[in-house]
Structure 1
Amino acid sequence: MTVLVTGANGLIGRALCERLQQKKQAFRAAVRPGVPVQPGCDVAEVGELNQATNWCRALTGVDIVIHLAARVHVMHDKSADPLAVFRTVNVDGTLNLARQAVDAGVKRFVFVSSIKVNGEATKMGRPFTEADAPNPQDAYGQSKCEAEQGLRQIAMDTGIEVVIIRPPLVYGPGVKANFAALMRAVQRGWPLPLGAVHNQRSLVALDNLVDFIITCMTHLQAANQTFLVSDGQDLSTTELVRGMAQAAGVSARLLPVPVWVLQAGAKLLGKGDAVQRLCGNLQVDISKARDLLGWVPPVSVEEGLGRCVRG
């Protein structure tokens, strides 16, 4: 059995390829020309991801595709038509790959989507589930939703097995963007006005997500299913900061600023979305993964944060 990993140079792709190497699983890493990957990989260079990408070389002899490559969520997107740009990569590019995978005799297509297909926020104690109607709120989420719909249709038409995974925020060694910025602030001992945030958010450690992807590669019950995945332990932002501080061996300097004050200040500064992510709820229910696949997150939140801090 040979596995094709697209986006093999990304945060998830690197970790997945390392795990496949450890398991002595035959795989091929698909990357853009000139992009470095870890030594020892069978590499297939492909062009930009769109409806015209030629996957022939990459798909030769492949049984399973794990599709990670995507145009990811872009803060302050300056594109004249962001949805069109996202569709070119995340919809057209994904469905083109899936159709060529069918022609190449691939048995299973594992698509890493996003919890943004479900939406941006949940009510306290009412987590997202796989049965919820899609409710994407931005161009990225919409493009992932459309890709999922197209993949399901291809599965119905051709018989290829499709597995869809919707992770929330992924953290681990090499994480970037807002999570990395918050982690640096904690490590430097900066006082943070996040000591009175009593929300609940689901995250997924990189090791847990990789383990779940590998489970979905071959598990018979995963075929043609959609799964939400997380660490199985939700955190408030206050608890997250304390966990980061404990992992880094420093004291958490948290100021108990009321959430309404944070929201009012953020609105004045045009940072409302950022504060919503820090203060709002986003919970996911992983009961389906537990019950159908028997999957249990192998890494605790504490261990995941420790690995993230150590890099």
Structure 2
Amino acid sequence: MEAQIESGATLRAKRNRTLITGATGFVGQAVVRRILADPSHEVVAPSRRAAAWDDERVRPLCVPDFVTFDRWGDALADVDSVVHCAARVHVMNDEAIDPLTEFRRVNVQGTLTLASQAAAAGVRRFVFISSVKVNGESTRAGSPFTAEQVPAPQDAYGISKQEAEEGLRELSQTTSMEIVVIRPPLVYGPGVKANFASMTRWLRRGVPLPLGAIVNQRSLVALDNLVDLVALALVHPNAAGQTFMVSDGEDVSTTELLHRTAAALGKRARLLPVPMSWLEMAAAVLGKRAVAQRLCGSLQVDISKTCELLGWRPPVSLDEALRKAMRSTA
């Protein structure tokens, strides 16, 4: 382990510039902050609109259309590594006529265009933020997803992420650029939106929720934990060519998550013990099966490979991360 740490430190001293796509997004902003914690490091930050940064080590780059942008060469000059966070993300009510085509356009074509130009520019390592949805939508309790199992994506977003992973691996066979894939489950933290933000509002208002008897197990990952792994994946020699699952290392039921989130808010969750079968039946009648799946189903990931191969442990606990996230919503 000492040799690995020494080698990683040597690589860290040599690298000096990282291009981070999606740099103004929820995950991307946190990655930028973490990279800039190294005073010798610089960041190239492409975004759809010219963004103002309060650090002179950030070089903003306006990229109106990520897919059709064809001037990555200049942006990649002297760039040692890339963290690719930008994506067309999973949406519940997709209005696209052909969602898979749209997901492929951004998540596959856009990713591989950037990656091929990065390889041509001599970029050493490309870290791709993928998704647990490449593995599938649910697991049996106690049978978590692993990085090695055969992918089984079930929606257009997951399919596009799998195809992007496959394209990156093919590229790595013909170039010297190292590929690292990270598949996070639900990411939460300061500024989180969507379902997690809605849950927080319900708990803050003391709304009674029929979610007090859910027996499942779900993996989550705090933003700080995900970013910590990204930073390590940029430099660790054992990360090259690998796919990693990531989580907080503690799985919880939906009911327990609600109780612990309420505690982080200084509140008491008002949960009604409605049987899961009733919730699933009601969801089916209302055409909300996907919602019921996320609330009642299990989705666990096994991070043992990540921990053993990289010597990594989630630095932030679930409760600590929830408190930090709730302070940002106060």
TM range (shorter): over 0.9
Matched, 1:63 2:96: no
**Fraction of identical pairs, as percent:** 55
Moved segments of 4+, more than 3 Å: 34-40
Aligned pairs (5 A) from 1:1-311: 1-24=16-39, 25-37=41-53, 39-40=55-56, 41-50=58-67, 52-311=69-328
| Aligned partners of 2:82 and 2:125 also within 8 Å | yes
Task: Give deviations 1:43-95, integer Å, cap 9, x for gaps.
Answer: 12223121554212321110000000110002111211111111110000000
Give the letter aligned to residue 141 of structure 1.
Answer: G
- Partner of 1:30: helix, strand, or coil? strand
TM-score calculated relative to the size of structure 1: 0.97
| Aligned partners of 1:165 and 1:226 also within 8 Å | yes
Task: Give deviations 1:108-129, integer Å, cap 9, x for gaps.
Answer: 0000000000000001100000
How far does residue 33 in structure 1 lie from its aligned partner after superposition? 2.7
| Aligned partners of 1:47 and 1:53 also within 8 Å | no
How far does residue 156 in structure 1 lie from its aligned partner after superposition? 0.6
TM-score calculated relative to the size of structure 2: 0.92
Q: Tell me, in whole angstroms, the C-alpha distance in 1 between the residues paired with 2:147 and 2:248.
A: 16
How far does residue 159 in structure 1 lie from its aligned partner after superposition? 2.0
Structure 2, unpaired ranges of 5+:
1-15
Give the letter aligned to residue 169 of structure 2.
Answer: R
- Partner of 2:90: helix, strand, or coil? coil
RMSD after superposition: 1.1
Query: Aligned pairs, how many?
Result: 311
| Aligned partners of 2:21 and 2:45 also within 8 Å | yes
| Aligned partners of 1:9 and 1:37 also within 8 Å | no
Structure 1, unpaired ranges of 5+:
none
- Partner of 2:315: helix, strand, or coil? coil
